[in-house]
């Protein structure tokens, strides 16, 4: 969680694309970089003697365009805001939840959402979730400076700011900054105001980060003091001894997201192995690993209920007393406009 390119260029890339991590060629997983970590699917390896083959995308619009241009894989890992778009494009097919024993243990606020189903069929299995808020260097940035999202436009931090190179996270920030907490109700005026706010923030941006590892390097080096970040960043950086705080209670609010796996239409590999992969991901072992080592939440509510409140707070997953913008699907036309506008903003227009 890169950039849009032409369909023809993507089609050419799809023809020559090679898996970035080749293993079991009967299951191809199209995923974010980092999720090839075998601790996420140990049971799959134990059963089949190898990990799946992984190939990667930088952000979801890139993944969408690549799949639409003909690239084939078996399962993929979009976030909730994109499920409807992928389904309407014919890229995904329903899961058979009777083949997923842990499905009943998943958080019902996710599985009960109409966002992830259509005509009674389930198109999205929630897997990981978390928050996006303000990560900051506690030795260089006074806590009062990050009490508001307007810190991203503060000239005091020109060149020391980083924002996600991801249209959903970046517009979540912008909408919150202008007072919109439900982007499914965003108006034309809201879109214009959010885009104007991002243009105001742009001169302060040292880099638009593409993944948590890149952001951690920027903050560890001291180049970046403040970022709009996934909760992975403070958890892992604090674990490495860096002075990174996480402000989830700015006056304007914070954002939350949930991502999961979809069953891609006409996948070239084994359908049985797709279910084995999914079942491994929903296991107690995986849930404990992603919380303890990555700081993300897991969709398995039965496991999440075993954690002490202070552990949930430390991971940046606890409830907050400020507005929360949930990154749910929005009007597809508006989202397409946001994608185009964000590209202009990054280019300085």
The 10s digit of each residue's pLDDT in 126-156 is 999 999 999 999 999 999 999 999 999 999 9
> So what's the pLDDT on residue 58?
85
How far is the C-alpha of 136 from the C-alpha of 156, rounded, in Å?
14
Specify the pTM.
0.85
Mean pLDDT of 36-51: 96
pLDDT of residue 114: 76
Buried b (16+ CB within 10 A) or exposed e, 9-37: ebeeebeeeebeeebbebbbbbbbbebbe
Least confident of 82-86, 193-197, 241-245, 340-344: 82-86
- CATH value of 7-128+258-314 in 3.80.30.20, 3.30.460.10, 3.40.50.2300, 3.40.190.10: 3.40.190.10
3-state secondary structure of 113: coil
Question: Is the model's pLDDT at 6 over the cut of 70?
Answer: no
Q: Quick: pLDDT tens for 155-186.
A: 999 999 999 999 999 999 999 999 999 999 99
Mean pLDDT in residue range 314-336: 90
Mean of pLDDT values over 272-295: 95
pLDDT value at residue 214: 93
Contact between residue 217 and residue 115 where contact means Cβ atoms under 8 Å apart: no
> What's the mean pLDDT when you consider all of the chain?
91
Name the residue with tokens 């799809």: 14
Q: Is the pLDDT of residue 52 over 80?
A: yes
The reported pLDDT for the residue numbered 15 is: 31
pLDDT tens digits for 80-132?
A: 889 989 999 999 999 999 999 999 999 988 887 777 888 889 999 999 999 99
3-state helix, strand, coil split of the chain in percent (to 5) is 45, 20, 30
Would you give the distance in Å from CA 248 to the centre of its chain?
17
Please check whether residue 343 is in contact with residue 3, taking contact to mean a CB–CB distance below 8 angstroms.
yes
Give the percent of the chain with pLDDT over 90.
Answer: 80
pLDDT at 21: 59
Q: Enter the DSSP assignment of 317.
A: -
Average pLDDT over residues 31-42: 94
Across-strand partners of 136?
Answer: 226, 245
Alpha helices by DSSP H, listed for 77-138, are 83-88, 108-111
What is the model's pLDDT at position 22?
65
For the stretch 213-224, pLDDT in tens is 899 999 999 999
| 130-256+319-346: CATH class | alpha beta
Q: Is the pLDDT of residue 4 over 50?
A: no
CB of 58 closer than 8 Å to CB of 103 = no
Of the candidates 12, 19, 16, 8, the one whose C-alpha atom is nearest the C-alpha of residue 50 is 19
First to last CA, the chain: 23
Give me the torsion for CA of 37, 39, 42, 45, rounded to 10°: 30
The CATH 3.40.190.10 domain(s) of the chain lie at 7-128+258-314, 130-256+319-346
Residue percentage of the chain with pLDDT more than 70: 94
- Position 12 scores a pLDDT of 32
Residue with tokens 């601790």: 39
* Contact by Cβ (8 Å): 79, 326: no
H or E element at residue 301: helix 301-304
């Amino acid at each position: 969680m890169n950039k849009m390119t032409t369909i023809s260029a993507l089609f050419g890339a799809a023809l020559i694309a090679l898996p970035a991590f080749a293993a079991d060629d009967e299951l191809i997983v199209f995923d974010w970089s980092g999720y090839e970590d075998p601790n996420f699917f140990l049971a799959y390896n134990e059963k089949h003697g190898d990990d799946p083959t992984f190939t990667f995308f930088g952000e979801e619009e890139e993944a969408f365009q690549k799949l639409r241009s003909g690239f084939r894989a078996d399962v993929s890992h979009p976030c909730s805001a994109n499920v409807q778009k992928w389904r309407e494009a014919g890229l995904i097919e329903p899961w058979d939840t009777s083949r997923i024993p842990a499905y009943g243990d998943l958080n019902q606020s996710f599985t009960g959402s109409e966002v992830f189903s259509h005509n009674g069929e389930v198109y999205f299995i929630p897997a990981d979730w978390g928050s996006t808020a303000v990560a900051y260097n506690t030795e260089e940035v006074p806590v009062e400076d990050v009490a508001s999202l307007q810190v991203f436009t503060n000239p005091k931090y020109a060149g020391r700011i980083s924002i996600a190179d991801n249209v959903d996270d970046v517009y979540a920030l912008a909408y919150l900054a202008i007072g919109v907490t439900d982007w499914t109700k965003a108006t034309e005026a809201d879109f214009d105001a959010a885009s104007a706010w991002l243009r105001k923030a742009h001169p302060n941006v040292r880099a638009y980060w593409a993944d948590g590892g890149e952001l951690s390097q920027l903050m560890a080096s001291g180049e970046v003091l403040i970022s709009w970040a996934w909760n992975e960043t403070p958890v892992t950086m604090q674990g490495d001894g860096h002075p990174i705080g996480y402000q989830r209670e700015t006056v304007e609010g914070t954002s939350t997201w949930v991502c999961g796996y979809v069953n891609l239409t006409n996948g070239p590999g084994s359908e049985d192995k797709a279910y084995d992969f999914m079942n491994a991901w929903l296991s107690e072992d995986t849930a404990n690993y992603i919380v303890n080592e990555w700081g993300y939440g897991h969709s398995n509510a039965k496991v999440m209920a075993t954690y002490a409140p202070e552990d949930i707070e430390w991971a940046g997953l606890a409830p907050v007393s400020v507005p929360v913008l949930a990154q749910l699907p929005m009007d597809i036309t508006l989202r397409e406009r946001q994608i185009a506008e964000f590209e202009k903003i990054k280019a300085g227009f």
